[in-house]
Chains A and B, each alone.
Chain A
Amino acid sequence: MAKLVVLQPTKQPPISLLSSSLSHFNGTKLCQIQYKRKVCQPKGALHVAASSTKKILIMGGTRFIGVFLSRLLVKEGHQVTLFTRGKAPVTQQLPGESDSDYSDFKSKILHLKGDRQDFEFVKSSLSAEGFDVVYDINGREAVEVEPILDALPNLEQFIYCSSAGVYLKSDILPHCEVDAVDPKSRHKGKLNTESLLEKSGVNWTSLRPVYIYGPLNYNPVEEWFFHRLKAGRPIPIPNSGVQITQLGHVKDLATAFVRVLGNEKASKQVFNISGEKYVTFDGLAKACAKAGGFPEPEIVHYNPKEFDFGKKKAFPFRDQHFFASVEKAKHVLGLKPEFDLVEGLTDSYNLDFGRGTYRKEADFSTDDMILNKTFALQS
């Protein structure tokens, strides 16, 4: 697992874009689907989850999704506990978050220190505390979830962060919730967990994000492009560049997690959660440039088979089409993502990379291999 890196303190003064960004994570934004004349609102879709206060446990919650999700839940008035090893600070002030908001959050969030791989401890500590709802946003294997279910026989809802990576690769797209899954995929642990939840009889909900992005992303998705754009370097993209992927903003994912809380329509259901539009690899490079105010990038295509990159990843995305339909969440839950791609990347840039913060240092070694070969051939 990657080391958690403490965020750099912000050096730049807040910029005017912040006020809009702040409003995005202060409280759940209720989105309506509007068409020319007809508003399509499935009954109950705009029902704000849980009129009653819940005692909520989040497995994880100090890194990325949980950072935003926990704030929304606390704002809704729930009692929220984060279960972490305590390696990273339980709370950190977010870029753009006011001091008063942060101290309010900090005063209310609770911490249960432990290692979730210690199943006995998980069972005993959770059983002792008792929780109404569990959000499992860092679980990878079914065995990790068993002690939680054992500890909480009266659990009202188990909400799981799964992954669209469970879908079986297909020529027919987008991936929809009803489609075949791949029991051999790298994410089979997520699949096994979903099966366990199904068999256990608990009231479960599973969300399957695609690629998540946004401020504090520890997976170098947008960061990978920003490093190169900032350095004025060409962007090396494997093969044709028309491969289609899909990004979902972390704040929209957090909103989705809140939307399913106490929601009957989410009971024992799987939902894909991501952006409404997909994007080609080439298109993503251009969108990142736009978001950061960089000029249109030079894109260099290459055949990855002609290189041996060793253990290094030359490109942060799977070299294939990979995108999922979010129509089910739209129709069943009334969920409409707030951020489009450029808006979301701009939010990420302004609150994170653009302030000089990032998780991984730039590593252009694979780029140089590609560019040296490409330009050698051209000369």
Chain B
Amino acid sequence: MAALASSSSSSLLFTSPPSKLPSPSLYPLPRFSLPTSSFLSSSLSISPSSLSYPTASRRHSASSFTVRAAAAGKKKVLIVNTNSGGHAVIGFYFAKQLLGSGHEVTILTVGDEGSDKMKKPPFNRFSEITSAGGKTVWGDPADVGTVVAGATFDVVLDNNGKDLDSVRPVVDWAKSSGVKQFLFISSAGIYKPTDQPPHVEGDVVKADAGHVGVEKYIAEVFSSWAIFRPQYMIGSGNNKDCEEWFFDRIVRNRPVPIPGSGMQLTNIAHVRDVSSMLTLAVEKPEAASSNIFNCVSDRAVTLDGMARLCAEAAGLPVEIVHYDPKAIGIDAKKAFPFRNMHFYAEPRAAKDILGWEGTTNLPEDLKERFEEYVKIGRDTKPMKFEIDDKILEALKVAVAV
């Protein structure tokens, strides 16, 4: 039942050494001559009295990030990024945000630069990283040291592995090469289902979940670490469909089949919120250290609600149809992009400890998403809805021709 939001990418790890080693030209002489040792970061932890309160004006604007970064000391950050799935977009936003804040960034994407996977977003937009001064490399995380050609980093974010086998080599290399802070993208999917939502940091997790072993190992090896447990994300450059699933049906005037009651709560964050939380952890390493953060937006939405919001964003009506997957022999995991249960975590630790604030505003964000959806012509793309048809047939629901 450990179905996670992102598709499994661990099977795509290459065991043979990468065919192309990064050429020396990818590691030009540093443009900045600032010392790389960590300094000032500890003195810059935001004191509790300046924590933002929900009703106060947003203090963590982009400009204040830049100011803080400069004072906190420029960091050299390595992002080990998955090459597919719902989490892929995290590394893309994080890289750009770090670069915008004046940090040095290398993003190591699993696999080959030339693979078909790289034709999809966010990978097909990596020029946005390089033009901002970031470095992009490809390879096998198990050989990370070689792939980055011996470069050293202050911070590593593993946004790839889901089990100890895939993350251990990165952790071990990071430790031995002097990385100070290790960050890991885990998953809120490891929380044990509860009838007392939300999932908060510290709640019981499923002991057999792969991520759990990774979290434990990181905590053993590093003294400065932070774990991030995301749920679902929307945002331009996403590798996996989220809101598109709803748009596809709404623009074609098709019913939206939702399993169960439709009252199930989920958490859909704009990836910029995920990125801002990670950036705060980089810039406040002492505050972040030894903490788990639910990396989600600060509001939940029901499944029916998401359908309605997508329809509103599209300016179109929506017909929601509920069904019992078991009763009609449907695998809900294949039929529907979200978990068929309450799956709802809150970002309490990030707010309490990092002073993080969420900016996700689904009604507004979905409008933007719909504009892009239409701009790329997906609204007129021919599509098949085989599973939908099966569901609707079983329920005897008419579909507009």
Residues of A within 8 A of B (CB): 33, 35-38, 40-43, 170-174, 176-178, 239-240, 242-244, 269, 276-280, 282-283, 286-287, 321, 325, 327-328, 330-332, 341
Q: Which residues of A contact B23 (CB under 8 A)?
A: none
Tell me which residues across on chain A come within 8 A of B194, comparing CB atoms: 283
14 residue pairs A–B, Cβ–Cβ below 8 Å: A38-B291, A40-B48, A40-B51, A171-B304, A172-B309, A176-B54, A177-B54, A240-B261, A243-B263, A276-B200, A279-B196, A287-B196, A327-B348, A328-B54
User: Counting CB contacts under 8 A, is B197 at the interface?
Assistant: yes
Residues of B within 8 A of A33 (CB): 352
Q: Are A332's CB and B53's CB within 8 A?
A: yes
A43-B195 contact, Cβ under 8 Å, with A35-B349, A327-B351: no
Contact at B195–A279, with CB atoms within 8 Å?
yes
Q: Please judge, given known A-B contacts A244-B342, A331-B53, whether A172 and B300 are in contact too, CB under 8 Å.
A: yes
A174 & B264 in contact (Cβ 8 Å cutoff): no
- Rounded to whole angstroms, the CA-CA distance of A328 and B352 in the bound complex is 11
With A240-B263, A280-B342 already in contact, the answer to whether A35 and B198 are too (CB < 8 A) is: no
Q: How far is the CB of B306 from chain A (nearest CB, A)?
A: 8
**Which chain B residues border A172 with CB–CB below 8 Å?**
299-301, 305, 309, 362
A35 lies within 8 A of B264 (CB): no
Q: Is B308 an interface residue (CB 8 A)?
A: yes
Distance in angstroms from A340 CB to nearest chain B CB is 8
Cβ contact within 8 Å between A38 and B287: yes
Q: Taking the nearest CB of chain A, how far is it from the CB of B310, in angstroms?
A: 11
List of A residues within 8 angstroms of B51 by Cβ: 40, 42, 331
- A286 to B346 CA separation, bound complex (whole angstroms): 23
State the CA gap A170–B200 with chains docked (Å): 22
Contacts of B265 in A (CB 8 A): 173, 244, 321
A240-B263, A280-B342 are known contacts. Are A177 and B55 too (CB-CB below 8 A)? yes
Which residues on the B side are within 8 Å of A43 (C-beta)? 48-49
Cβ contacts under 8 Å, A36 to chain B:
290-291
Task: Tell me the minimal C-beta distance from A34 to chain B in angstroms.
Answer: 10
Binary contact track B188-225/A, C-beta < 8 Å → 1, others 0:
00000011111010000000000000000000000000
> Is the CB of B353 closer than 8 A to any CB of chain A?
yes
Q: How far is the CA of A178 from the CA of B55 in the complex (A)?
A: 7
Find the residue from A239, A244, A279, A287 having the highest chain B CB count within 10 A: A244
State A171–B313 Cα separation when bound (angstroms): 14
Known: A35-B352, A174-B299. A42 touches B196 (CB 8 A): no
When distances are taken between beta carbons in the complex, the residues of chain B under 8 Å from A332 are 53
Inter-chain contacts of B290 with A (CB < 8 A): 36-37
Within the complex, which residue of A239, A244, A325 is in contact with B197, where a contact is CB–CB below 8 Å? A244
Residue of B nearest to A284 (CB): B195
Say how far B160's CB is from chain A's closest CB, in angstroms.
26
Q: Does B302 reach chain A (CB closer than 8 Å)?
A: yes
Contact B55 A277 (CB under 8 A): no
Q: Does B289 contact A (CB under 8 A)?
A: yes
Contact in complex: A277, B196 (CB < 8 Å): yes
Question: What is the bound-complex CA distance between A155 and B198, given in angstroms?
Answer: 40
Per the bound structure, the CA–CA distance linking A330 and B263 in Å amounts to: 28
Determine if B305 and A171 form an interchain contact, defined as CB atoms under 8 angstroms apart.
yes
Known contacts A286-B195, A321-B263, A321-B265; A171 and B309 CB within 8 A of each other: yes
Measured CB to CB, the closest approach of chain B to A38, in angstroms, equals 6
| Residue among B48, B196, B299 having the largest count of chain A Cβ atoms under 10 Å | B196
Residue of A with least CB distance to B194: A283
| Interface residue ranges of B4-61 to A (CB < 8 Å) | 48-49, 51, 53-55
Closest 5 CB pairs of A and B: A171-B305, A283-B195, A240-B261, A43-B49, A277-B196
Separation of A42 and B362 alpha carbons in the complex (Å): 30
**A171 CA to B53 CA in the complex, in Å?**
24
Question: Across the two chains, which residue of chain B brings its CB closest to A275?
Answer: B196
Asked if B260 and A240 sit within 8 Å, CB to CB, the answer is: yes
Cβ of A242 and Cβ of B264 under 8 Å apart? yes
Our pick among A239, A287, A328 for the contact of B261 (Cβ within 8 Å) is A239
**Bound state CA distance, A33 and B202, in angstroms?**
14
Contact A341 B304 (CB under 8 A): no
Q: Name the interface residues of B240-278: CB closer than 8 Å to any CB of A.
A: 260-261, 263-265
Query: Which residues of B332-352 have CB atoms within 8 Å of chain A's CB atoms?
Result: 342, 346, 348-349, 351-352
In the complex the two chains form, is A278's CB within 8 Å of B196's CB? yes
| Residue of chain A at shortest CB distance from B54 | A328
